[in-house]
């Protein structure tokens, strides 16, 4: 039976998940998201373009920057992905693991999780080649595959994808609307906060200290944004799967 997604209940679940697991989520995000981001920002700062630089010069500088730091960028991406897995385990695993247990379980599924993410990305990209909309549809249909793999212990690649496709049946529009509203609102709050805090810090402190604190504020807010979106993913799964998720999931084994 298809469950209709209640957007209000889903948002309430996002907040409940964050409040109930706040300390654990922030500890994981702090180690695997915040610290690597800060280290990269401080030790590999992006080149400052001259005031009269053309768009072509700015683009070439950025291209050279990412080319020189591709290994570190990929490593940080992998650490961020691992943090997402661990946070999903903390929120969705019925055994209520602590952080160390969640990390051990995350390591056992990290390869199929990443492989499934790559496959989902390829399918979404191929769909996007056909006038964008098919890619958006595929993205929505596969959005809770990672949560399925964690919550229902389906460690293959195809089973979570099929299960996500089934769970999202009849709710694609609601899911897309929910993700867009939450994403845009969160991004607006992020941009506004970084801008306001940045202006205040630069007015109150010297340039060198201001740059350091602005980088710190940016990294912390980016971390919180990532934690929020992981909570959104977990809440979407919980709302779509319902309390009998484990029993229904056996049909997809």
pLDDT digits (tens, 9 = 90+) for 142-193: 999 999 999 998 888 999 999 999 999 999 999 999 999 999 999 999 999 9
- The candidate with the shortest Cα–Cα distance to 236, out of 166, 178, 151, is 178
Rounded CA-CA distance 161/140 in Å is 11
pTM of the model: 0.88
Inter-residue contact 44 to 75 (CB < 8 Å): no
pLDDT at 249: 40
Q: How confident is the model at residue 251 (pLDDT cuts 50, 70, 90)?
A: very low
Alpha helices in the chain (DSSP H): 7-29, 35-43, 55-68, 70-92, 99-128, 133-141, 145-151, 158-167, 172-204, 207-241, 245-249
pLDDT attached to residue 248? 42
- Reported as a single tens digit per residue, the pLDDT across 73-84 is 999 999 999 999
> Which phi-psi region, left, alpha or beta, contains residue 242 (left: φ > 0; alpha: ψ -120 to 50)?
left
Sequence length of the chain is: 253
Q: Is the pLDDT of residue 46 over 80?
A: no
Out of 38-47, 54-63, 150-159, 230-239, the most confident range is 230-239
pLDDT at position 214 over 80: yes
Taking 90 as the threshold, does the pLDDT of residue 202 lie above it?
A: no
Q: Which residues of 102-127 are buried (b: 16+ CB within 10 A; e: fewer)?
A: bbebbeebeeebeebbeebeebbeeb
Confidence at 208, pLDDT banded by 50, 70, 90: confident
Chain CA centroid to CA 157, Å? 19
| DSSP code, position 45 | P
Domains of the chain, by residue range, sit at 7-252
pLDDT tier at 51 (50, 70, 90 boundaries)?
Answer: low
């Amino acid at each position: 039976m298809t469950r209709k997604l209640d957007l209000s209940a889903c948002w309430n679940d996002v907040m409940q998940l964050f409040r109930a697991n706040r300390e654990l989520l922030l500890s994981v995000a702090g180690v695997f998201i915040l610290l690597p981001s800060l280290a990269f920002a401080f030790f590999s700062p992006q080149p400052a373009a001259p005031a009269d630089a053309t768009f072509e010069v700015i683009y070439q500088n950025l291209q050279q920057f990412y080319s020189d730091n591709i290994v570190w960028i990929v490593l940080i991406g992998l650490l961020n992905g691992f943090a997402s897995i661990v946070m999903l385990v903390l929120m969705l695993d019925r055994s209520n693991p602590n952080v160390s247990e969640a990390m051990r379980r995350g390591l056992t599924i990290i390869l199929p999780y990443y492989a499934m993410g790559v496959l989902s990305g390829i399918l979404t990209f191929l769909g996007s080649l056909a006038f964008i909309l098919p890619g958006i549809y595929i993205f929505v249909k596969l959005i809770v595959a990672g949560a399925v793999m964690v919550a229902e212990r389906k460690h293959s690649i195809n089973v979570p994808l099929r299960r996500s496709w089934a769970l999202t049946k009849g709710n694609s529009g609601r899911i897309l609307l929910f993700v867009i509203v939450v994403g845009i609102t969160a991004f607006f709050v992020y941009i506004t906060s970084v801008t306001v805090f940045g202006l205040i810090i630069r007015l109150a402190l010297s340039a060198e200290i201001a740059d350091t604190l602005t980088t710190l504020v940016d990294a912390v807010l980016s971390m919180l944004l990532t934690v929020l979106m992981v909570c959104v993913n977990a809440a979407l799964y919980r709302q779509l799967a319902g309390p009998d998720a484990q029993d229904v999931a056996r049909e997809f084994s």
